């Protein structure tokens, strides 16, 4: 038993899709969520600045004496260096490895598509993780830089023409590659999953990376006897005003936000503080 909270962060609101799954799987856990809404999006930025932001995000969560760090951001998960991983000093996971394992367990043809932000696709982190598990797998990646702004601006209705038009462009090379599994490599994408599924067709399995990292957290806490007992709950921290966050959070959580939302200043935290 470990009564401490799970720390989880994302560049913005996307990681709330992971919180939604965590709350379903682990209703007794306390969750401390940080969304870096003052500096979102991460995925179009350079690797070094993404790493600096990630170190500050992790340092912030560690101030709260969490028992585990869940990196619910595809971009950060793809850009972590071994040095960063070593310095966390707590059980942690990004979305890449759990999602790669799920995709490898799902695929029959060994042909796997990967969509994500520009930084994620450029990093090739998913492809590397997949080939470590299934050496003969073939992966087909394409960056979808407009998906995050489209989702954050509410262009998510299953019949949204704009998002469908953009998605058809981004998915064209992946469709052509005849994959049987598509990794949605960013925690914003589950909100437009119906559009992606329509374009890819019913025979392609979509992998929700946030759901997979939530399952990893459940499995890790269970097998290490670190589950919490008693009532669970959430606390939310953001780096921009809480109002905007509260407005869109419901979409991602699948229900109104419950729990306090506080604004903090993350850019004054030293990236080396972890």
| Binding positions for its own copies, rule: CB under 8 A | 37-39, 44-49, 145-146, 149-150, 152-153, 155, 161-162, 165-166, 169, 239-241, 243-244, 267-268
Asked if residues 58 and 94 have their Cβ atoms less than 8 Å apart, the reply is: no
Catalytic residue among 73, 79, 104, 144: 73
Buried b (16+ CB within 10 A) or exposed e, 176-191: eeebbbbbbbbbbbbb
144 given a catalytic annotation: no
Q: Which is nearer to its own copies, 65 or 247 (CB)?
A: 247
Instruction: Return the structure tokens found at 186.
Output: 């960013």
73 given a catalytic annotation: yes
Q: Which is nearer to its own copies, 49 or 105 (CB)?
A: 49
User: 87 CB contacts (<8 Å, ≥6 apart)?
Assistant: 274
Q: How far, in whole angstroms, is CA 110 from its chain's centroid?
A: 23
Q: Which is nearer to its own copies, 38 or 254 (CB)?
A: 38
| Residue 220 C-beta-side C-alpha neighbours within 13 Å | 17
Closest distance between its own copies and the C-beta of residue 146, in Å?
A: 6
Q: Which is nearer to its own copies, 152 or 208 (CB)?
A: 152
Catalytic residue among 104, 144, 186, 234: 186
Closest distance between its own copies and the C-beta of residue 195, in Å?
A: 14
Closest distance between its own copies and the C-beta of residue 247, in Å?
A: 11
Measure the CA–CA gap between 272 and 127, rounded to whole angstroms.
29
The percent helix, strand, coil of the chain (3-state, each to 5) is: 45, 15, 35
Closest distance between its own copies and the C-beta of residue 37, in Å?
A: 8
Q: So which residues are the catalytic ones?
A: 73, 186
């Amino acid at each position: 038993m470990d009564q401490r909270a799970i720390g989880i962060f994302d560049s913005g609101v996307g990681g709330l899709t992971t919180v939604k799954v965590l709350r379903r799987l682990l209703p007794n856990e306390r969750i401390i969520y940080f969304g870096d809404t003052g500096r979102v999006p991460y995925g179009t930025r350079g690797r070094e600045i993404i790493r600096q932001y990630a170190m500050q995000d992790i340092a912030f969560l560690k101030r709260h004496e969490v028992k585990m760090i869940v990196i619910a951001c595809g971009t950060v998960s793809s850009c972590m260096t071994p040095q960063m991983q070593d310095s966390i000093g707590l059980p942690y996971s990004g979305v890449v490895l759990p999602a790669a394992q799920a995709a490898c367990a799902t695929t029959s043809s060994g042909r796997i598509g990967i969509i994500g932000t520009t930084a994620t696709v450029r990093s090739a982190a998913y492809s590397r993780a997949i080939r470590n598990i299934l050496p003969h797998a073939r992966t087909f990646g394409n960056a979808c830089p407009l998906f995050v702004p489209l989702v954050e601006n509410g262009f998510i209705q299953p019949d949204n023409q704009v998002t469908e038009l953009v998605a058809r462009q981004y998915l064209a090379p992946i469709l052509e590659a005849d994959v049987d599994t598509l990794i949605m490599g960013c925690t914003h994408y589950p909100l437009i999953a119906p559009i992606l599924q329509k374009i890819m067709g019913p025979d392609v399995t979509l992998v929700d990376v946030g759901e997979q990292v939530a399952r990893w957290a459940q499995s890790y806490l269970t097998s290490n006897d670190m589950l919490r007992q008693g009532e669970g709950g959430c606390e939310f921290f953001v780096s921009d005003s809480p109002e905007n966050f509260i407005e869109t959070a419901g979409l991602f959580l699948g229900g109104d936000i419950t729990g306090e939302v506080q604004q903090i200043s993350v850019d004054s935290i030293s990236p080396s503080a972890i």
